[in-house]
């Protein structure tokens, strides 16, 4: 049985990957520091879905799932060099999927140190341990943010990515550069994945789809940046996970085993249209507060996914309309008590 380490296992994408791996009978270790960047209640609820109970969690201690015999979880920070090395020494992973990161474009302008520590120093610890333990493949989260203010649409992996417009994007570009170095110098197979605006059940509460849904249902105003003149390549979580699964047992076989892929829906949606779909799904009108463009923001994101299609036959399957409907159905259940106070 292949053993996989998933970092960021209490996060949105990481927790979804863990579920998919367990359903496909992989042995999995999930790792997360469970920081307080956003409400930890949601993070603990995600890992409870796979049998990890909050009351059992202790720092630097592996605990077994009450649901999946092949799953263990450890609360550990990527920047902890000693305990990260100990984990790799004892577990002998085959594949590492690094989804742990300090996320959020706008917050990176307020607290850049958190991004450098987690996204660069933490990632360096991942690279070093993968190098010394001969990992078969490291798959890691990059971001569509690294395209910056690129005017060429759709975004292609070969486009220039040397002008990020946020500290977050700069750290993700740094990850790709470090990964290339480890692939070139040490022969470590690395695959970077540039995600495009991921949404869906268990999503991050600091991102627009979650904030919009919450505000519409609670009757509060939505801040619509750049007066709605923005487009995003909203990508449903299941399509993101399917993309990762395509990569899992297919490391690069090039002389320098380094590569990056876009994973997105490849169908950008205007922000006002996205809000309109939410209104139709929920049966409620949004209170729109039009505001200026924010620092670190870009006008449009649009993934060219030809490389994923050509290499793996990858095709995203969930439309924005269907994805928002599924997200709404989850949200109603998860926040049922809160919604009852509004209705």
Q: List residues with catalytic annotation.
A: 168
Residue partners of 92: CB distance under 8 A and separation at least 6: 3, 133
Nearest partner of 142 among 169, 113, 111, judged by Cα: 169
Please, what's the b/e burial string for 310-327 (b: 16 or more CB within 10 A of its CB; e: otherwise)?
Answer: eeeebebebebeebbbbb
- Are the CB atoms for 265 and 235 separated by under 8 Å? yes
Tokens at 6, concatenated: 């998933």
Query: How buried is 267 (Cβ within 10 angstroms: 0-12 exposed, 13-18 middle, 19+ buried)?
Result: middle
Q: At what angle do helices 81-91 and 122-132 cross, to 10 degrees?
A: 30
Q: Distance between CA 309 and CA 260 in Å, rounded?
A: 13
- Are the CB atoms for 312 and 263 separated by under 8 Å? no
Residue partners of 165: CB distance under 8 A and separation at least 6: 145, 148, 149, 296, 297, 298
Nearest partner of 140 among 258, 315, 284, judged by Cα: 258
Q: Distance between CA 1 and CA 6 in Å, rounded?
A: 16
Nearest partner of 130 among 73, 171, 91, judged by Cα: 91
Contacts from 289-292 at CB under 8 Å and sequence distance 24+? 289/221, 289/222, 289/223, 289/224, 290/224, 290/227, 290/228, 291/223, 291/224, 291/225, 291/226, 291/227, 292/225, 292/226, 292/227
């Amino acid at each position: 049985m292949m053993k996989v380490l998933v970092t960021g296992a209490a996060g949105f994408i990481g927790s979804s990957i863990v579920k998919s791996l367990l359903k496909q009978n992989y042995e999995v270790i999930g790792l997360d520091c469970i920081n307080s960047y956003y409400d930890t209640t949601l993070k603990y609820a995600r890992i409870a879905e796979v049998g990890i109970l909050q009351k059992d969690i202790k720092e630097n201690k592996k605990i077994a799932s009450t649901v999946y015999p092949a799953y263990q979880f450890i609360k550990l920070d990527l920047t902890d060099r000693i305990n990260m090395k100990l984990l790799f020494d004892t577990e002998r992973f085959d594949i590492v999927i690094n989804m742990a990161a300090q996320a959020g474009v706008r917050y990176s302008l307020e607290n850049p140190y958190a991004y450098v520590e987690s996204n660069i120093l933490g990632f360096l610890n991942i690279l070093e341990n993968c190098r010394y333990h001969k990992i078969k493949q490291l798959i890691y989260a990059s971001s569509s943010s690294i395209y910056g203010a690129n005017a060429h649409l759709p975004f292609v992996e070969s486009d220039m990515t040397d002008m990020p417009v946020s500290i977050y994007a700069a750290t993700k570009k740094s990850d790709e550069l470090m990964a290339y170095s480890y692939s070139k110098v040490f022969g470590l197979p690395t695959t970077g994945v540039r995600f495009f605006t991921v949404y869906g059940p268990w999503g991050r509460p600091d991102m627009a789809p979650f904030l919009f849904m919450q505000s519409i249902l609670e009757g509060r105003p939505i801040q619509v940046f750049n007066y709605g003149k923005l487009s995003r390549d909203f990508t449903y979580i299941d399509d993101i996970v399917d993309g990762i699964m395509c990569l899992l047992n297919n490391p690069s076989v090039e002389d320098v085993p380094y590569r990056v892929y876009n994973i997105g829906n490849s169908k950008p949606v205007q922000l006002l249209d996205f809000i309109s779909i939410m209104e139709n799904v929920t049966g409620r009108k949004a209170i729109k507060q039009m505001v200026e463009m924010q620092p670190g923001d870009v006008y449009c994101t649009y993934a060219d996914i030809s490389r994923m299609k050509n290499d793996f036959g990858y095709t995203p399957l969930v439309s924005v309309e269907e994805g928002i409907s599924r997200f709404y159905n989850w949200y109603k259940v998860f926040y049922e008590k809160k919604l009852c106070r509004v209705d």
